[in-house]
Structure 1
Amino acid sequence: MAGPGPTFPLHRLVWANRYRELEAALHSRQHDIEQEDPRGRTPLELAVSLGNLESVRVLLRHNANVGKESCQGWAVLQEAVSTGDPEMVQLVLQYRDYQRATQRLAGIPELLNKLRQAPDFYVEMKWEFTSWVPLVSKMCPSDVYRVWKRGENLRVDTSLLGFEHMTWQRGRRSFIFKGQEAGALVMEVDHDRQLVHTETLGLTLHEPEALLATMRPSEEHVASRLTSPIVSTHLDTRNVAFERNKCGIWGWRSEKMETVSGYEAKVYSATNVELVTRTRTEHLSDQDKSRSKGGKTPFQSFLGMAQQHSSHNGAPVQQAASPTNPTAISPDEYFDPNFSLESRNIGRPIEMSSKVQRFKATLWLSEEHPLSLGDQVMPIIDLMAISNAHFAKLRDFITLRLPPGFPVKIEIPLFHVLNARITFGNLCGCDEPLSSVWVPAPGSAIAASASPFPCEVDPAVFEVPDGYSVLGAERSEPLRDEDDDLLQFAIQQSLLEAGTEAEQVTAYEEQLQLERALQESLQMSTEPEGPGAPLRAPPSFEEQLRLALELSAREQAEWERRGRREEEDLQRTLQRSLTEL
């Protein structure tokens, strides 16, 4: 079929797992390691889907891109987890973190060069994670990113380091970036242990083997992935539209304005923001599946955590099939672009549930704010987004064509029960003074500059504190690695595990009452109004939530009314007894 010059030579070597020939072909540098086959897979994606570990190892050694997503929106690491192979997951995860780190480090000199041209500043970014679900709200953390910028030096302080073993990890950490002629000096300062990891970056990354070795994940980390669902949460903003919020009553409506951090801001709603959540479970054992989704309480089902639908990517297994090629597709069939595979596919048959929800994001935009989103703030968000999933979502949102003004506050959905509210404040210490930041005296060169908000930053904030131990570039953990799938699973497990046993029993009884109320409201809303009346459609999830909240509010009001009546009866009884005396 292929003739003297076979198409997709790397892919064909991967298909047969002829990894020694694959190594030789890559050494020749005559082939594109990122070429896509007729099914949209790169050689690495194909090797992972087929479970060919040796070919995966060869491709990763030759820097195949681990960060690429498939046509269906799944990352290479997620496909590796679906194989259920711990060695595969460990290998792909290690190179994923390594490539993230090198990408972040390689982009720092360009970032600092952009900042060099911008006015100096200090600003705080407050992240608040909020939810309308009470149990989730209890576990929602918050954090304040403190950012100092002076010339080509940048410092970012944080206290929320991520989560591990289902608990939030806290610690005082600073990331300092100092521009130099040939590159940049990067320092990660651990204030709790008084340790500083330093690395000097040039045009090329030094000692990649040493950095790769530090990225090897623990066995516990690999095991946690293999026993957790694969969750992909995507914020779809293709059809987003912005409109001004209104305020006022009695027929008089005006465009809403609010003061945020001392700046007048126009309030906008972003409509048609869709949150797409997909969950895969084909790699889980029956026990893991029951732990993650089978033992749902009525409250979890109410939250929409139940499986919506399942899809399997293959016809019945044929005799010549293998676990990673369940429908026995031949290489000639696979590599022929004119051959339709229909429902057949390679890889373990997918078990997937999906959920799409529409949200309104909210923006507070100030046209008076002196910070420049493009010149001063976006480079910092770009830097953090490389290794921080939440910053990546923020970047994807604010790179849209926003209405005019600086986004002093933004509220966007992260998951179907979790929002992030980001507020910019304390610009140059104007709200809460800092010893490291001050407004220059009138007549000074900085005060006379063209900056709309002149600010001077103490150069000492970019130095290593006295008494700290300075080490090399070795790191004990990837920087700020917060994966959506693990966070989503942590939220679900927190719902299962929150509270004492007695509290869980009480909560479970309340959940049963809530479910009964929802069922009653559903029945009432779908009953015909009279003989011959058409049956109304069942209410949406949002309508069910509204009905449940109204019912809860009525019960609360009735309880308070009963309490007031009892208190009044008690007061009257006391007064009568005093009168009789």
Structure 2
Amino acid sequence: MSSANEMEVDETYPLHECVFSGDVRKLSSLLRFYNVTQKDIHGNTALHLAVMLGRKECVQLLLAHGAPVKVKNLAGWSPLAEAISYGDRQTISSLVRKLKQQAREQMEARRPDLIRALINIQDFYMELKWDFHSWVPLVSRVLPSDVCKIYKSGGCIRLDTTLVDFTDMKWERGDISFIFQGEKPPGESLTVLDNKTKVYQRVRYEETETEIEDEVDILMSSDILAAQMSTKSISFAKAQSGWIFREDKKETVAGLYKSDIYTITGLVLESRKRREHLSTDDLQKNKAIIESLTKGNTQNLEANGEPLRRASLNPPPESGVDWITYISAKAGQYPGLGRKLVYKESSRNFRATIAMSDDFPLGVDMLLNVLEVIAPIKHFVKLREFVAMKLPKGFPVRIDIPILPTVTAKITFQKFEFRANIPPSLFIIPSDYNEDPQRFPDL
């Protein structure tokens, strides 16, 4: 007979309890009545537990009912991170597919509002200057700069840039244009042009099976990483000027925008790494493995010419933890359910500045919409995350933000003007450009 405490636990998290016991039939019936997105006191969803405990049938059932994959527990780990740790290839593949499907669905749901917002604002031209710098002197001397030119007409946006990619201290220069055509179907709306070689590539809406499996190989062969900018203790204070008579610092940015200058403190870049799923051999070969996989697996082929895929790991030993022990633990301190963690954590505090102006003609909400459209450009993702924070009054005409642990970017809005005569040809692929689906492999 169940005690009162056990009954209370069962009624609070019935999906989680079903997963713990591996009762697939009961889980199937309960999914009609309970919220598959619910988190328990440790921040785990039922999908987290299904992955950590190796309940493959429960995983598939929860995914079929829309269990979210991009969700983190109190420790900051997603179901996909836990699946990589457990090491079952089929489960990892299923989660990667569902993650991408859910991202597409979210974008499709957001798309009509985004297009409407773009159409409702006057057409404009805007310039953003990027200056990358580092506290490491030799690094700072070789970092790039760039002026991005953005054109907006109706539901269309064009961005011209000379910085093709910026990843892990590597960058590629060129003459690149991103074109977003709001009236086109989702799979055809975003195109990137290489204006030097005169080729174009549509930004892929759905990955091929080979691309999915390549991604799974990379995930299974590399560290589980989680990096985020923590803003829990962030604060904005008006910068001061003057030696004796102190006063709030003001500047005119780009010679146009009268701005209040704020100092930002409490900005922490948190980086966490797990590698319990990697063997000693993996760790020694890790760099070579990843380089091989990111180049399309060409170095690892079976006799029939097919890529040699990473095999599932042997499952971790049964933890022996029962449901009551798990759910009775202090929040975020439950006993381990899978492999023993091999974990490293680091953090770096940043002190930055931001110039806020009431003179800039564009609103922050519209800037966020524009940045959402050009999300495939990686350093713009960081900018959007920053601007989405609760900033002081005005528009952020100049920002210093961390891009990598050793690299900071200064972004300056150096020009903005409403234009009524932006030529439609800017948003059309030139007739003498050829399609090259592999020009930008990361898109």
**Does TM, scored on the shorter chain, surpass 0.5?**
yes
Aligned partners of 1:189 and 1:196 also within 8 Å: yes
Distance in 1 of aligned mates of 2:430 and 2:347: 48
Aligned partners of 2:180 and 2:427 also within 8 Å: yes
Q: What is the match of residue 283 of structure 1?
A: 277
Q: Aligned in 2, Cα 1:232/1:58: closer, same or farther, shift over 3 Å?
A: same
Aligned partners of 1:161 and 1:170 also within 8 Å: yes
Distance in 2 of aligned mates of 1:340 and 1:405: 39
The residue type equivalent to 2:16 in the other structure is: H
Q: What is the match of residue 178 of structure 1?
A: 182
Aligned partners of 2:41 and 2:331 also within 8 Å: no
Q: Indicate whether 1:232 and 2:213 are aligned.
A: no
Q: Aligned in 2, Cα 1:340/1:280: closer, same or farther, shift over 3 Å?
A: closer
The residue type equivalent to 1:153 in the other structure is: C
Which structure features the higher share of strand residues? 2
Q: What is the match of residue 237 of structure 2?
A: 243
Q: 1:379 aligns with which of 364, 369, 372?
A: 369
Aligned partners of 1:38 and 1:337 also within 8 Å: no
Deviations 1:437-463 (A, max 9, x none): xxxxxxxxxxxxxxxx55532222222
Q: Aligned in 2, Cα 1:135/1:96: closer, same or farther, shift over 3 Å?
A: farther
Aligned partners of 2:168 and 2:404 also within 8 Å: no
Distance in 2 of aligned mates of 1:189 and 1:416: 28
The residue type equivalent to 1:423 in the other structure is: T
Distance in 2 of aligned mates of 1:139 and 1:80: 39
Q: Aligned in 2, Cα 1:339/1:277: closer, same or farther, shift over 3 Å?
A: closer
Q: Aligned in 2, Cα 1:193/1:223: closer, same or farther, shift over 3 Å?
A: farther
Distance in 2 of aligned mates of 1:389 and 1:225: 19
Q: Aligned in 2, Cα 1:9/1:56: closer, same or farther, shift over 3 Å?
A: same
Distance in 1 of aligned mates of 2:427 and 2:393: 33
The residue type equivalent to 1:241 in the other structure is: S
Aligned partners of 1:22 and 1:55 also within 8 Å: no
Q: What is the match of residue 414 of structure 1?
A: 403
Q: What is the match of residue 432 of structure 2?
A: 467
Q: What is the match of residue 369 of structure 1?
A: 360
| Aligned 1:3-14 pairs, distance under 5 A | 7=11, 8-14=13-19
Q: 1:329 aligns with which of 321, 324, 346?
A: 321
Q: Indicate whether 1:40 and 2:43 are aligned.
A: yes
Q: Indicate whether 1:457 and 2:419 are aligned.
A: no
Q: Indicate whether 1:121 and 2:110 are aligned.
A: no
Aligned partners of 1:90 and 1:216 also within 8 Å: no
Q: Indicate whether 1:271 and 2:271 are aligned.
A: no
Q: What is the match of residue 20 of structure 2?
A: 15
Q: Aligned in 2, Cα 1:399/1:155: closer, same or farther, shift over 3 Å?
A: same
- Give the superposition deviation at 1:290: 6.4
Q: What is the match of residue 249 of structure 2?
A: 256
Deviations 1:242-263 (A, max 9, x none): 22323445x4555434443232
Q: Aligned in 2, Cα 1:459/1:351: closer, same or farther, shift over 3 Å?
A: same
Q: What is the match of residue 155 of structure 2?
A: 152
- Give the superposition deviation at 1:479: 7.0
Q: Aligned in 2, Cα 1:467/1:151: closer, same or farther, shift over 3 Å?
A: same
Aligned partners of 2:132 and 2:145 also within 8 Å: yes
The residue type equivalent to 1:175 in the other structure is: I
- Give the superposition deviation at 1:47: 1.8
- Give the superposition deviation at 1:412: 1.5
Q: What is the match of residue 346 of structure 2?
A: 355
Range with bigger deviation, 340-349 or 71-80: 340-349
Distance in 1 of aligned mates of 2:233 and 2:125: 35
Q: Secondary structure at the match of 2:179?
A: strand
Q: Secondary structure at the match of 2:211?
A: coil
Q: Which has the higher contact order (CA 8 A, sep 6+)?
A: 2
Q: Aligned in 2, Cα 1:146/1:106: closer, same or farther, shift over 3 Å?
A: farther
Distance in 2 of aligned mates of 1:38 and 1:460: 55
Q: Indicate whether 1:77 and 2:80 are aligned.
A: yes
Q: What is the match of residue 106 of structure 1?
A: 109
Larger Rg: 1
Aligned partners of 2:126 and 2:149 also within 8 Å: yes
Deviations 1:376-412 (A, max 9, x none): 3121234445x66644443343334433332111002
Aligned partners of 1:94 and 1:216 also within 8 Å: no
Deviations 1:483-502 (A, max 9, x none): xxxxxxxxxxxxxxxxxxxx
Q: Aligned in 2, Cα 1:381/1:174: closer, same or farther, shift over 3 Å?
A: closer
Q: What is the match of residue 439 of structure 1?
A: none
Q: What is the match of residue 68 of structure 1?
A: 71
The residue type equivalent to 1:73 in the other structure is: G
Distance in 2 of aligned mates of 1:169 and 1:81: 31
Q: Secondary structure at the match of 2:189?
A: strand
Distance in 2 of aligned mates of 1:413 and 1:343: 33
Q: Aligned in 2, Cα 1:41/1:229: closer, same or farther, shift over 3 Å?
A: same
Q: What is the match of residue 93 of structure 1?
A: 96
- Give the superposition deviation at 1:227: 3.6
- How many residue pairs end up in the alignment? 406
Unaligned runs of 5+ in 1: 200-210, 294-321, 429-452, 481-581
Q: Indicate whether 1:426 and 2:426 are aligned.
A: no
Deviations 1:46-89 (A, max 9, x none): 12222334433443344321111112222233222222444443
The residue type equivalent to 1:262 in the other structure is: G
Distance in 1 of aligned mates of 2:99 and 2:199: 29
- Give the superposition deviation at 1:102: 3.2
Q: Aligned in 2, Cα 1:363/1:292: closer, same or farther, shift over 3 Å?
A: farther
Q: Secondary structure at the match of 1:380?
A: helix
Q: Aligned in 2, Cα 1:420/1:62: closer, same or farther, shift over 3 Å?
A: farther
Distance in 2 of aligned mates of 1:161 and 1:61: 38
Which structure features the higher share of helix residues? 1
- Give the superposition deviation at 1:270: 1.0
- Give the superposition deviation at 1:269: 0.9
Deviations 1:453-481 (A, max 9, x none): 5553222222232234689xx9998975x
Distance in 2 of aligned mates of 1:117 and 1:174: 21
Q: CA RMSD of the aligned region, Å?
A: 4.0
